[in-house]
């Protein structure tokens, strides 16, 4: 596979690591003789370490053959998370260390996650783009606050702290962007 065929969501092998592509930025050449560059941003599936590199358009890259399966988080303990395949009920375990970036969005019974599976081994989990979570703790809501006014920190059911508009109160359910961890709207 050539670098100009890379898309968000693919998994490539680089330096004996499986890298999940999260962003591709195309940089056009500034001169006639220059070649188009593809800036790849992603993360190592097993360690969660950030990955960033530029490739020329004709550079050859090894794509990893993975399948995406819908899974549900059954439960978690101090050092691992247990997931169940929604179709065939197979169970997979992942260490808490490999899910440290996603941990603030995970709770027992969560459905709609995508598991990245290669050779019947769970490599990692992809969160949906947005998630609905309940506000458990924040300053009292202000009736006079407008929707474009200032924000306040709010703690959500999973422990994630996000900036929300002042008019929101504890108990309300809101949508959060899982990539930027920012408030989108009420659910």
Q: What is the pLDDT of residues 101-145, one digit of tens each?
A: 788 899 888 888 998 887 777 888 888 889 999 999 998 877 665
Supply the CATH classification number for the domain 130-186: 2.40.50.140
Q: What is the mean pLDDT of the chain?
A: 86
pLDDT, residue 155, reads 94
Q: What is the CA radius of gyration of the chain?
A: 20
| 136 contacts 159 by C-beta, under 8 angstroms | no
Residue 65's pLDDT band (cuts 50, 70, 90): confident
Q: Is the pLDDT of residue 66 over 90?
A: no
Fold of 3-63: SH3 type barrels. (2.30.30)
Fold of 67-126: OB fold (Dihydrolipoamide Acetyltransferase, E2P) (2.40.50)
Q: Domain-by-domain residue ranges, the chain? A: 3-63, 67-126, 130-186
User: What would the mean pLDDT of 146-160 be, rounded to a whole number?
Assistant: 83
Report the distance separating Cα 158 and Cα 8, nearest Å.
27
Residue 146's pLDDT band (cuts 50, 70, 90): low
pLDDT, residue 133, reads 93
* Predicted TM-score (pTM) of this structure: 0.73
Report the distance separating Cα 66 and Cα 13, nearest Å.
12
pLDDT, residue 172, reads 93
| 56 contacts 37 by C-beta, under 8 angstroms | yes
Asked if 67-126 and 130-186 have one fold, the answer is yes
Q: Is the pLDDT of residue 53 over 70?
A: yes
Residue 31's pLDDT band (cuts 50, 70, 90): confident
pLDDT, residue 147, reads 58
């Amino acid at each position: 596979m050539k670098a100009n065929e890379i898309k968000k969501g693919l998994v490539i092998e680089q330096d004996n690591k499986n890298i999940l592509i999260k962003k591709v930025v195309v940089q056009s050449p500034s001169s006639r003789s220059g070649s188009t560059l593809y800036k790849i941003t992603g993360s190592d599936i097993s360690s969660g370490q950030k990955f960033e590199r530029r490739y020329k358009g004709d550079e050859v890259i090894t794509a990893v053959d993975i399948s995406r399966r819908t899974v549900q988080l059954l439960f978690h303990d101090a050092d691992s998370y247990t997931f169940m395949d929604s179709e065939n009920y197979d169970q997979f375990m992942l260490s808490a260390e490999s899910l440290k970036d996603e941990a603030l969005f995970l709770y027992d019974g969560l459905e709609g996650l995508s598991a990245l599976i290669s050779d019947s081994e769970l490599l990692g989990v992809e969160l949906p783009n947005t998630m609905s979570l309940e506000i458990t703790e924040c300053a009292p809501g202000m009736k006079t606050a407008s929707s474009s006014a200032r924000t306040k920190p709010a703690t959500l059911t999973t422990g994630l702290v996000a900036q929300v508009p002042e008019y929101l109160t504890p108990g309300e359910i809101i949508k959060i962007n899982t990539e930027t961890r920012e408030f989108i709207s009420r659910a």
